[in-house]
Each structure stands twice: as C-alpha cells, then as structure tokens.
Amino acid sequence: MRPIIFTHRVRARYQETDQMGVVYHANYLNWFEVGRTEFIRHAGLTYRELEEKGILLPVMDARITYKKPAKYDDEVDIRTWVGLLSPVRLTFCYEIIRVADQELLVTGETMHAFTNSDLKPIRLSRSEPIVYEWLATKNKGEE
C-alpha cells in the first residue's frame, strides 16, 4: 500500500537563487523542512505542539539527489510522505516537482530521531502512542 503523500506548493524566490537564476542546492533542505512542517500541520498537529509535549525531531541524516534545477519564479510542489517509522526513528521522503511541466527535479530523505528536550532518545510509541499511531497510519496509506 502506498503511503499518504502531502503536497505543498511554493514559488522559487529570487533570494533562493544564484546569479544564473538557479535555485541554490542547499535551499532544497529548506523546502524539505517546509514539506514536513506542512505535512504535520495538515493533520492538525504542529511542531510547536510536539515540542510542548516534549518531543523533538532532530535531523540525523539527510540525502538529496539532484536531477534538474528549479529556477527563479518556478512553482514547485513539495511532495512529502513518511518513509520508515520505528518507535525511536522516523524518515520523511520528498520529491520536488516543477508544476509547469511536472518534471521531477529533486528527491530526498531526512531521518529524524525522537528525543526529549534534553536531546535524549525516547520511544514515541510509549511516550505519545496517539502521535505514533497517526504517523503509522500515514506510513501505511490509511486516512
């Protein structure tokens, strides 16, 4: 079963590009963050609420594959979904698609640990079973 994919649209701003009008490579990580923030918000939960519950999601690893560049003023869709989920770790997957021609520009993943505010690992399935179950249903493709 395919996981639930959330799509959020952004426009490449001038400040995100280099002199050639090409989106600077590190800005895709920012777009990944926008994608996962909006993915969580779409479900009625925010990063702030997670932090208020004492749950942090620091990035442990990031992978990006560049296929084609986005350029200034391009509208792009950030497609985000839950890849791997364990009680202590979570991987988000991403695709950046240019809206005008549906060209796949970038793919990537970020791996996150579930930690408390002291950055000590926690088992989300124990500390916040409702949040863990919600993530698990997104991973399995259930609404």
Active site residues: 18
Q: Tell me the three-class secondary structure of 89-110, residue by residue.
A: EEEEEEEEEECCCCEEEEEEEE
Q: How far apart (Å, rounded) are the C-alpha atoms in residues 1 and 67?
A: 26
Q: How far apart (Å, rounded) are the C-alpha atoms in residues 24 and 114?
A: 30
Q: How far apart (Å, rounded) are the C-alpha atoms in residues 73 and 15?
A: 11
